[in-house]
Amino acid sequence: MDTQQYMSMFLEESMDNLQTLNESLLELEQNPDDVNKVNEIFRVAHTIKGMAATMGFSHMAELTHKMEDVLSKFREGELSVNQKVVTVLFDCLDTLENMVNNIQEGNSDDIDISSIIRDLQAIAANRIEDEVPSKEAELEQTNELQHEVSRVQLNEYDINIVKEANYRGYNVFEINVILSENTLLKSARAFLVFKSLEEHGEIIKSVPGTEELENENFDFEIKLIYVTSKDQNSIYESLMGISEVDKVIVMPLEASKVKAAAQQPQNETRVAQEMKVQEPVQKAEPKAATPEKKAASVEKEGAVTHKKAHQSVRVDLERLDRFMNMVSELVIHRTRLEQISQNHKLTELNETLEQVARTTSDLQDLVMKIRMLPLEIVFNRFPRLIRDLSVELGKEIDFIIKGADTELDRTVIDEIGEPLIHLIRNAADHGIETKEERIKRGKNPVGTIKLVAYQEGTKAVIRVEDDGNGIDIEKVRRKAEKSGINTEGMSENDIRNLIFAQGFSTSETVTDISGRGVGMDVVKTKINSLGGTVDVISEMGKGSAFVIKLPLTLQIIQALLVKVGSETMAISLGYIDRVIDFDESMVKKSNNREVILYRGNVIPFVRVNQKLGIHSDESKNKFIVIAQIGDKTAGLLVDSLLGQQEIVIKPLGKTLQGLKEYIGATILGDGLVTLILDAAALI
């Protein structure tokens, strides 16, 4: 079966299914008695197993099969849903995700799943404890399970090797080697065990795997399946002769017993054989691999959100980018044609040009909408993040998401996840207080983190809010003074925003979650690179809100064309509040900086020509463009206004990447290349 043509479909659908499982498990943890949710999880896990087996990824199929064993216990009411069980299932999902990523990247490294399989089997056998079992209890459990080791570990491929070895007259043994608890170099002892055995035979299975053995990432027990011509006693004696080997159990393994063992848990071999029978059907009809997924998604969407009943098609992102570039070129040529028509007064062209203009505008709107994706794609990973953080930090956190259907350009969507993770981790670690502190302050013992998104004009706004401790301004001021930053004359808001300075952190201790002083400056840098802004609003004892404003798209924008000296420049309309006439008497000095009075507020004044080193004619009437970036306002002095125009942003390329004052360039109707000013950098 040529599986390569179905590989991209398998990878995409696997990631979708894993995300569905993540969300469903979170919901199940909140509502442990929801049988429908258990059934949905079971169906999706079964789909992943079927797809993985069809594509030949036996480790994935084996792991999801063991997950099914646990889920079937939920369905039958033999096992109750609790935090420990859900944590193990989440570990499974993370492992499966790593496997999918490895397949995607062409990484052939096997991920060792033996320990997680053991955890799942312990749960399925109702052996999960409230406390971590002692070494003695683990050893006792191992002895109880010793006759089932082969069933646990052997997949169909291994079983065939055992059968072949028996058929050719070799002995197959299942060996348990238990090292002394005083062993200092466990990996060295394991090496000696392997060396001793490999002199007279071949080890076909080892639990833990070789990587774990080398890194000493195991307890004191090694389980092996061994093919040899030697007898049981001589193997026992050679292994017991190795120092610090406490106990050795050698048990013969026969093909008939192996077969029975493999068929025991829900007839695993039979399931695999059924999959093989179905293979030709799946070859003819690739979509047949995922009927459960379709059913599950239809049921979920129909029952809960009534979203998209129509069919959709996956498009390669490169094609979409090329499509966008071609539409951008069309917009440039349309503007050029309009300019020529105007210059030569070609009235007979006007009607056709209007039609072309309407069509290109519609095409442009359409391609922009195709590129837009809902923030839900980014947001849907955060409930799991909050759940893990609350367990890790021992805090109870209520997580609320609003406006996940707000749409942003795909380029922005791809980049915004990392800064949001920083902000959410920060809110959970530094923002939300411990349960005891919250009770002491008369607050609800359960903290709240909100993730809110909405559209505001040409911008998308994302707010990360918490009802925690708030930002201690005095603490920030002290830290700033210590770092050599002069805070004199700064407003409280300016001081708060110092937390975005490079390497700035008010955390007294370094944790794995936050407090390394690298989080907030990374957030600001990333958001600025997307043409957006980030600000913080906070009230001591009440909580904080981080407000991110991002452009809805990064490709085609409405801009104001201005003259600076003899140069034509463009400024995005998204930044512009209004334009006013300039008079030199408006300019005042404050702290050696030029400012102007605007709507009763003193705002910074920037002479753009001086900032860019361009000569300007002082005799002409000039204009001040009032630009607003987040909560900061400034006046930008320009020589003249050329009007509003739709422009296509073209990147400057690697050579000019260091020019921070510009976000890109555009080509105007007359063929002139014009730079687009970055108002945020100027201010």
* Active site amino acids: 46, 68, 426
Q: What are phi and psi of 144, to 5 degrees?
A: -60, -35
For residue 509, give the amino acid letter: T
Contact between 616 and 528 under an 8 Å Cβ cutoff? The reply is: no
From the list 239, 269, 235, the residue with the least C-alpha distance to 252 is: 235
Structure tokens at 612: 């860019």
CA 589, chain centre distance (Å): 48
Structure tokens at 9: 């479909």
d(CA 443, CA 447): 9
For residue 457, give the amino acid letter: G
Rg (CA), the chain: 33
Close Cβ partners of 421 (under 8 Å, ≥ 6 residues apart): 382, 385
Contact between 453 and 461 under an 8 Å Cβ cutoff? The reply is: yes
Torsion sign over Cα 382, 383, 388, 390:
positive
Q: What angle do CA 450, 460, 318 make, to 5 degrees?
A: 115
Query: Which SS3 state, helix, strand or coil, does residue 522 take?
Result: helix
Tally the residues of the chain.
683
First to last CA, the chain: 61
Structure tokens at 141: 């459990």
Q: Are strands 171-179 and 245-252 parallel, antiparallel or unpaired?
A: antiparallel
Structure tokens at 496: 């708060």
Q: Which residue has the tokens 């000569």?
A: 615
Query: Which SS3 state, helix, strand or coil, does residue 185 take?
Result: coil
d(CA 366, CA 323): 11
Distance (Å) of CA 310 to CA 306, 313, 374, 406:
11, 10, 17, 20
From the list 675, 665, 671, the residue with the least C-alpha distance to 567 is: 675
Query: Which SS3 state, helix, strand or coil, does residue 584 take?
Result: helix
Instruction: List the beta bridge partners of residue 179.
Output: 245
Upstream peptide bond of 133 is cis (omega within 30 degrees of 0)? no
